[in-house]
């Protein structure tokens, strides 16, 4: 092989090795091995700077002790000088073995990046008396190869740095999520919520199936996430699936996945939600809306932790925690034969019932303050509620529960023309509720007053209706109607 072909072949093979992997030690070692074949190199090393010192990262023909110490003949001082000066060094007769008519030249070239010298490439070149060797050509080739290796090394280190950054960001995000959904951050000091918190703490460290029940808007997903992120499988995925939001014909494919060609439109294979939740948690929201046809397959998952994709006979095993939630009465659905009894009992291993707002009114003020701060910060405002507005919101019955409360506070923060929110700034439904409550209270007050007056008149008249009517200035027929209306009886008077 002529010299030009040899150089091109060497550069090509080394480039191919560098392009095949980003693992530093193994890749650089393979590159030196190729270099030894093409240039008849006996020993070679690539040394990179670490904390101001040259450290051998890859070697060919060196002993373990030489690699460990980072020194090999003729002297590591030469390499240090090359790394400092940036100029290559060639020693034509580094080792002269006249007995075997062999000579060895030592060549060392710097590995220069745009900003600095990152290391050196050094090698012993063997040449025999009958071999025509041009050290200048060898030096030129080593410079080219050193340049290729420098670019690859910088790329490899950049990729590794970005990888470590992504790992740190992922771990940081996990910690943030754990903090976000930690049960301590779920607002509620009422007795009803304390019972929920206790149940979550007990079940989180287990892998038991949990059934969360409660009206719409009570925070079932928030509790499910808290259980996941406080549990043993918190490093796995949390996959949410709403059983009521997907058409029945697509539910099975969404949950269990499908193979390519399983049905019209299935152009590629697809993993289902249970596969995606492997080593993590799947949250089946509105489980009460699950069709009877799919219920046996969910039951099998709970019992066997296995299933098949649509169009496949291969059984897939999964390690997944199941948390289900519903706003429906599953026991009633079981009695109506619209929900399997065996599935109900498999889901209801650990039940957690979330109370509606009307049963945790003590938490309303704390929730309002939390949402006011949250949405004021998001909208760069400092909104507060007047005492009258706060009292009115505390009296409201909140049929949509926490979700309605949160949405209402967000609307108030966005729409209020003033930072101090008064009753007139509250949504119409809350103000109407207040007016109805006041009217009802007034009606009750008037009713009670009238009843007391009639009772007093009857007592003064010796319970003779005609005499009592005269005292009140009404007809006996009218007082008879009032007595019947209010259910007044003589035994009411002691």
Instruction: Return the pLDDT at 9.
Output: 87
Domains 183-355 and 358-426 share a fold: no
Within 8 A by CB and 6+ apart from 154, the residues are 113, 118
pLDDT beyond 50 at 247: yes
Kindly provide the b/e burial profile for residues 306-344, where b requires at least 16 CB atoms within 10 angstroms of the residue's own CB: ebebbebeeebebebbbbbbbbeebeebbeeeebbeebb
Instruction: Return the pLDDT at 109.
Output: 93
pLDDT tens sequence across 434-454: 665 555 555 566 677 788 888
Mean pLDDT of 226-248: 90
Mean pLDDT of 182-209: 87
Instruction: Return the pLDDT at 492.
Output: 47
* Residue 417: Cβ within 10 Å count: 6
Within 8 A by CB and 6+ apart from 64, the residues are none
Distance CA 101, CA 95 (A): 11
* DSSP-based three-state secondary structure for 186: coil
DSSP string, 318-332: ---EEEEEESS-HHH
For the chain, percent of residues with pLDDT exceeding 70: 90
Q: What are phi and psi of 138, to 5 degrees?
A: -60, -40
pLDDT tens sequence across 365-416: 999 999 999 999 999 999 999 999 999 999 898 999 999 999 999 999 999 9
Give the model's confidence band at 493: pLDDT under 50 very low, under 70 low, under 90 confident, else very high: very low
Query: What are the residues facing 488 on neighbouring strands?
Result: none
Contact 17, 34 (CB under 8 A): yes
Instruction: Return the pLDDT at 349.
Output: 95
Mean pLDDT of 107-135: 81
What distance lies between CA 412 and its chain's CA centroid? Answer: 30
Mean pLDDT of 242-259: 88
The architecture CATH gives domain 432-492: Orthogonal Bundle (1.10)
Q: What angle do CA 150, 154, 157 make, to 5 degrees?
A: 135
Nearest to 255 by CA among 280, 277, 222: 277
Instruction: Return the pLDDT at 431.
Output: 84
Beta strands in 349-421 (DSSP E): 350-353, 384-385, 420-421
pLDDT tens sequence across 290-299: 999 999 999 9
Please report, for the chain, the start and end positions of each structural domain, with discontinuous segments joined by +: 3-160, 183-355, 358-426, 432-492
Provide the token pair at 36: 């030894």
The chain-wide mean pLDDT, for the chain, equals 86
pLDDT beyond 70 at 34: yes
The architecture CATH gives domain 358-426: Orthogonal Bundle (1.10)
Instruction: Return the pLDDT at 178.
Output: 61
Instruction: Return the pLDDT at 484.
Output: 85
Mean pLDDT of 90-118: 78
Least confident residue range of 92-101, 240-249, 306-315: 92-101
State how beta strands 53-60 and 41-50 pair.
Answer: antiparallel
pLDDT beyond 70 at 144: yes
pLDDT tens sequence across 413-429: 999 999 999 999 999 88
The architecture CATH gives domain 183-355: 3-Layer(aba) Sandwich (3.40)
Distance CA 272, CA 276 (A): 6
Instruction: Return the pLDDT at 168.
Output: 82
Contact 334, 167 (CB under 8 A): no
Q: What is the dihedral of CA 324, 327, 332, 338, to 10 degrees?
A: -60
Instruction: Return the pLDDT at 71.
Output: 60
Mean pLDDT of 50-69: 81
Give the model's confidence band at 132: pLDDT under 50 very low, under 70 low, under 90 confident, else very high: low
Give the chain's radius of gyration (CA, Å).
41
Least confident residue range of 28-42, 58-72, 467-481: 58-72
In CATH terms, the fold of domain 3-160 is: Beta-Lactamase (3.30.450)
Give the model's confidence band at 72: pLDDT under 50 very low, under 70 low, under 90 confident, else very high: low
């Amino acid at each position: 092989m002529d010299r030009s072909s040899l150089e091109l072949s060497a550069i090509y093979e080394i480039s191919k090795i560098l392009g095949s992997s980003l693992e530093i030690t193994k890749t650089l070692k393979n590159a030196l091995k190729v270099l030894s074949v093409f240039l008849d190199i006996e020993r070679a090393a690539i040394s990179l700077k670490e904390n101001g010192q040259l450290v051998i990262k890859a070697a060919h023909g060196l002993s373990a002790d030489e690699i460990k110490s980072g020194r090999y003949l003729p002297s590591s001082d030469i390499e240090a000088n090359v790394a400092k000066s940036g100029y290559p060094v060639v020693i034509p007769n580094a080792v002269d073995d006249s007995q075997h008519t062999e000579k060895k030249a030592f060549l060392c070239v710097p590995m220069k990046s745009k900003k600095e010298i990152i290391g050196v490439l050094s090698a012993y070149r063997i040449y025999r008396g009958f071999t025509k060797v041009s050290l200048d050509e060898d030096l030129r080739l080593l410079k080219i190869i050193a340049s290729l290796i420098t670019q690859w090394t910088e790329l490899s280190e950049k990729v590794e740095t970005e990888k470590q950054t992504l790992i740190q960001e992922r771990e940081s995000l996990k910690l943030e999520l754990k903090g976000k959904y930690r049960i301590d951050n779920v607002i509620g000091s009422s007795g009803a919520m304390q019972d929920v918190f206790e149940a979550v703490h007990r079940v989180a460290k287990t892998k038991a199936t949990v059934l969360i029940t409660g009206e719409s808007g009570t925070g079932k997903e928030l509790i499910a996430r808290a259980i996941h992120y406080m549990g043993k499988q918190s490093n796995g995925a949390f996959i949410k699936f709403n059983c009521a939001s997907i058409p029945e014909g697509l539910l099975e494919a969404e949950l269990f996945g499908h193979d390519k060609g399983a049905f019209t439109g299935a152009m590629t294979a697809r993993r289902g939600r249970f596969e995606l939740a492997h080593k993590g948690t799947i949250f089946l929201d509105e489980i009460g809306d699950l069709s009877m046809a799919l219920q046996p397959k969910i039951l099998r998952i709970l019992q066997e932790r296995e299933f098949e994709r649509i169009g496949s006979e291969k059984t897939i095993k999964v390690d997944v925690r199941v948390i289900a939630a519903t706003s429906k009465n599953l026991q009633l659905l079981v009695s109506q034969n619209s929900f399997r009894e065996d599935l109900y009992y498999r889901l209801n291993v650990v039940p957690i019932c979330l109370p509606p707002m009307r049963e945790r009114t003590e938490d309303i003020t704390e929730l309002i303050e939390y949402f006011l701060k949250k949405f004021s910060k998001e909208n760069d405002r400092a909104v507060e509620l007047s005492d009258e507005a706060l009292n009115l919101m505390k009296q409201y019955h909140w049929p949509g529960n926490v979700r309605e409360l949160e949405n209402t506070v967000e609307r108030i923060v966005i729409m209020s023309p003033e930072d101090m929110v008064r009753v007139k700034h509250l949504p119409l439904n809350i103000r109407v509720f207040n007016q109805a409550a006041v009217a009802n209270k007034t009606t009750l007050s008037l009713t009670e007053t009238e009843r007391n007056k009639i009772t007093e008149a009857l007592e003064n008249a010796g319970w003779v209706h005609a005499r009592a009517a005269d005292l009140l200035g009404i007809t006996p027929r009218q007082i008879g109607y009032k007595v019947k209306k209010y259910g007044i009886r003589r035994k009411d008077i002691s």
